Structure 1
Amino acid sequence: MMGVEAVLMMIGLLVALVLLGLHIAVVLALTSMLGILLMMGNMEIAVSMLSRTAYEAIRSHVFIVIPLFILMGDLVSRSGAAGDLYRVCNRALGRLPGRLAVATVAGNAIFAAVTGVSVASAAAFSRIAYPEMRKLGYNKEFAVGAVAGSACLGMLIPPSVLLIIWAVLTEMSVGALFIAGVIPGLLLAALFAGWCVVAAIINPSIAPRAETIDMGKSDRSEIIGAVGILALVALVIGGIWGGLFNPTEAAGFGAIGGLILAYAKGMRAKGIMDAIYNAGRTTAPIMFLLIAAMMYSRLLAMGGAVNYIQDLFLATGGSVIVIIGLMALIWLLLGMIIDSTSIILLTVPIFAPIAMTLGIDPLAFAIFGILVIEAGLLTPPFGLIVYTVKGAITDRDLKLGHIFKGAIPYWVMILGAAIAVIAFPQLANWLPTLGR
């Protein structure tokens, strides 16, 4: 069978099986095997090629970055440092309108830089920030929107698991992608915080001034937690930025730093082992996904599907803006039914080469893609962040509709930031010396 025909058939089968609810990793591996078998006509050759692809993929030193950063985030999260950070941010903001919501955004922005996973931030701040805001009379939708919306920062502010996966699939520099995400991430955090303040000023009923009550001074444990997180951010991001170590080494130092912080916060052998086991449980499915995705990429390359799909996009006669808009629309539609990692694995091997052909800066396109895919975390009916927040909050009166409605302004701001990055690539490629 012709290569392109086999690949297109497998892509159709892949989409159908995903919509039927099969696990994305199993589907990627299965369709890759079938596609190469159809093209080669020999099972032994197909198995040999895919096994070699898997072996080469897992040998990459980039893969070790994921479990180490996840372990760092898990240690920090379980230590209680996220709560310390939130309370310190809250006190530092004084009498700012919507103070607790702004503290949630600030805490999530900093916490994101040690977890790299939005779901972790959503779960942590749902238990920490939402009850405090409700206790002081915050509007339910405004409070939960701040939690869900700002949790998305975890996918953009480095170290981000999605950025690492993007780097693996496109063979880009992990360090360059990390640094590329800094300014867009800070810009987005500033937009979120600004919205919280403006909304509280326009409608004081959603964020009562009762929050100006004295919360006392931070104790020693709180200061250790908050300063420890800031030190970890400086160690990891500052070390990569300053050229002291590469992302793999930064992940190792970050994990050690997380362990020291967890111990300083009172975590001992049992808690540390639980964090290690949980990091392993989180990492294993991601690794399997990446191996399957590398097989999928091999299928696309062998069958010439990327060039075929690229020709289809270019044959539409649309401008660069139209083609990029079409990609964004596909990402948003996929975000309604599958998770962010799966979206990247399915689309980036096809979209990234097309973007390069169109002359789009690869760093800017990567950050644009992550932002649009982030918006999918808040898009109904899937909205992974929304379901995470709902599961973490014990308020029985809180409905999914409240969370989706509260998150709408953040969804709009995320897409606005994505447009800004693609229109002004300098926001992402401001430090070209790291390489691509």
Structure 2
Amino acid sequence: MTTIIFGILALLMVLVLLGVHVAVALAVVSALGVYWMIGSADVALSILGTTAYEALRKDIFIIIPLFVLMGDFVSRSGAARDLYGLCNRGFRRLPGCLGVATVMGNAVFAAITGVSIASAATFSRIAYPEMIALGYSRPYALGTIAGSACLGMLIPPSILMIVWAVLTEQSIGALFIAGLLPGLLLATLFGLYCALRAIWRPQDAPRGTEAPRAPGDLSREIIGGGTILVLIGIVIGGIWGGVLTPTEAAGFGAAGAFVLGLLRGMRVREVLEAVYNAGRTTAPIMILLITASMYSRFLAMAGATQVINGLLLSISDSTAVIVLIIFLIWLVLGMFIDSTSIILLTVPIFAPVANTLGLDPLAFAIFGVLVIEAGLLTPPFGILVFTVKAAVPDPTVRLGEIFRGAVPFWLLILFVAVLAILWPPLSTWLPQTYL
């Protein structure tokens, strides 16, 4: 039994590393695994089909497209540019003010989009030209944009947290609130790094520089940035206060962003493009979640989690050693596979192990999201780095510059991840107090 289980899991990793789409790989190994156990192809397909149908029936899946749609409406409305301008004004007296403004703008924008790639693409077009025009070094500017975009997967609402909650049957609202303090801490550390580097290496971020603003810019920025804060209040405050479920909060947020877009001059064509883009973004995630449900069913039927749990405990009875092994596995996978796929492949296995070790589920989830999110900046895959490279309006930018500039942010992400697992109240205090 154990040999077959590890053979199936090895086949899964081989397919993924060979470039087979993760959804296809999950479906194939799930079908093979269940067929091996049942001995009947018809019964195996029936079980997997029922699993897929039950997964689709969960109303929880509507949250993902609604949050993506909300972020797309806000981005197209131009409110993100106003938000950045407002942050720029607020931090103009600090060293590296544009770097700090980029971090804080990303932190607020993250509470709208829930997708790091969207934040990276948006601020690559908004912040990079302004930073370069005022003499900031390219590695500093590019690293700040790529690194701070990671906040999109930690500060709620987060697509990764939704996927994690679906796989582990945890409360989405609790996970959202659990990510708030670690997300704010990480944003603060990012901002401090930007300011301290500007002091240590003033050639990277010249002092006393601020982009010129037209007289009417301030009122527009206050309206645009203020509207984003109102949307955040509806989404996060509604969940936090128990007034709205996550699904209802996503609906209100998407509707509010739609109204904002119309008021800011968004046309019918742009509305349709936003809807189509939300579909293009969420459809692959939905397919992955369906096949991940099939994969989880196979793991449960085969008793794979118990086998792997026993294997890890046989290596060491130390919780620290087992967590370190999980940490290293996530870091290695992050070099080659995107964050959502890593969660789908590993969380059905590692979450039960964490429960056996007595780790708090919320703290372990935040730890996992942070470590996996660090993979977005890890070569050779580093999807955020490639996103910034594609989005910046400068064809001379090299990938090496972005990776080099993002290293300090990568280290800070891992630092907060370790802190989250060593000190669980960082993640658990807010949910336990207010939910």
Q: Within 5 Å, which residues of 2 pair with 1:210-249?
A: 210-212=208-210, 214-217=212-215, 218-249=217-248
Aligned match of 1:172: 170
C-alpha RMSD of the superposition: 1.3
- Return the alpha-carbon distance in structure 1 between the equivalents of residues 241 and 390 of structure 2: 40
Give the number of aligned pairs. Answer: 434
Question: Which of 79, 82, 94 is 1:81 aligned to?
Answer: 79
Residues 129 and 393 in structure 2, CA contact (< 8 A), matched pair in contact too: no
Residues 130 and 211 in structure 2, CA contact (< 8 A), matched pair in contact too: no
Secondary structure of the residue aligned to 2:209 is: helix
Aligned match of 1:301: 300
* Corresponding position: 1:127 with 2:120: no
Secondary structure of the residue aligned to 2:428 is: coil
Aligned match of 1:331: 330
Aligned match of 1:409: 408
Amino acid at match of 2:14: A
- Return the alpha-carbon distance in structure 2 between the equivalents of residues 156 and 377 of structure 1: 13
* Corresponding position: 1:59 with 2:57: yes
| Residue 433 (structure 1) shift | 4.4
- Return the alpha-carbon distance in structure 2 between the equivalents of residues 435 and 101 of structure 1: 33
Question: Which of 44, 47, 50 is 2:42 aligned to?
Answer: 44
Question: Which of 5, 9, 12 is 2:7 aligned to?
Answer: 9
- Return the alpha-carbon distance in structure 2 between the equivalents of residues 214 and 84 of structure 1: 14
| Residue 181 (structure 1) shift | 0.3
- Return the alpha-carbon distance in structure 1 between the equivalents of residues 58 and 374 of structure 2: 30
Aligned match of 1:161: 159
- Return the alpha-carbon distance in structure 2 between the equivalents of residues 219 and 270 of structure 1: 29
Q: 1:249-304 CA distances to partner (integer Å, 9 max, x unpaired)?
A: 11111111110111111112221111111101111110000000000000100001
- Structure 1 residues 28, 373: closer, same or farther in 2, change over 3 A? same
Scaled by the length of structure 1, what TM-score is found? 0.97
Aligned match of 1:34: 32
- Return the alpha-carbon distance in structure 2 between the equivalents of residues 209 and 36 of structure 1: 63
| Residue 5 (structure 1) shift | 3.6
Q: 1:167-187 CA distances to partner (integer Å, 9 max, x unpaired)?
A: 000000000000000000000
Aligned match of 2:287: 288
Moved more, 7-16 or 355-364: 7-16
Secondary structure of the residue aligned to 1:286 is: helix
Residues 98 and 197 in structure 1, CA contact (< 8 A), matched pair in contact too: yes
Q: 1:70-122 CA distances to partner (integer Å, 9 max, x unpaired)?
A: 11111111111111100111011132110000000000000000000000000
- Return the alpha-carbon distance in structure 1 between the equivalents of residues 118 and 268 of structure 2: 22
| Residue 61 (structure 1) shift | 1.5
Amino acid at match of 2:106: N
Unaligned 5+ segments in structure 1 are: none
Aligned match of 1:147: 145
Residues 241 and 434 in structure 2, CA contact (< 8 A), matched pair in contact too: no
| Residue 435 (structure 1) shift | 9.7
Moved more, 80-89 or 390-399: 390-399
Aligned match of 1:190: 188
Scaled by the length of structure 2, what TM-score is found? 0.97
| Residue 213 (structure 1) shift | 6.0
Aligned match of 1:275: 274
| Residue 210 (structure 1) shift | 4.7
Residues 88 and 101 in structure 2, CA contact (< 8 A), matched pair in contact too: yes
| Residue 216 (structure 1) shift | 4.6
Question: Which of 88, 91, 108 is 2:89 aligned to?
Answer: 91
Residues 7 and 299 in structure 1, CA contact (< 8 A), matched pair in contact too: no
| Residue 211 (structure 1) shift | 1.3
Amino acid at match of 1:272: V
Secondary structure of the residue aligned to 1:204 is: coil
- Return the alpha-carbon distance in structure 2 between the equivalents of residues 339 and 242 of structure 1: 33
Q: Percent identity over the alignment?
A: 61
Q: Within 5 Å, which residues of 2 pair with 1:110-121?
A: 110-121=108-119
- Return the alpha-carbon distance in structure 1 between the equivalents of residues 75 and 387 of structure 2: 16
| Residue 214 (structure 1) shift | 4.8
Residues 93 and 103 in structure 1, CA contact (< 8 A), matched pair in contact too: yes
Unaligned 5+ segments in structure 2 are: none
| Residue 10 (structure 1) shift | 1.4
Aligned match of 2:426: 427
- Structure 1 residues 79, 324: closer, same or farther in 2, change over 3 A? same
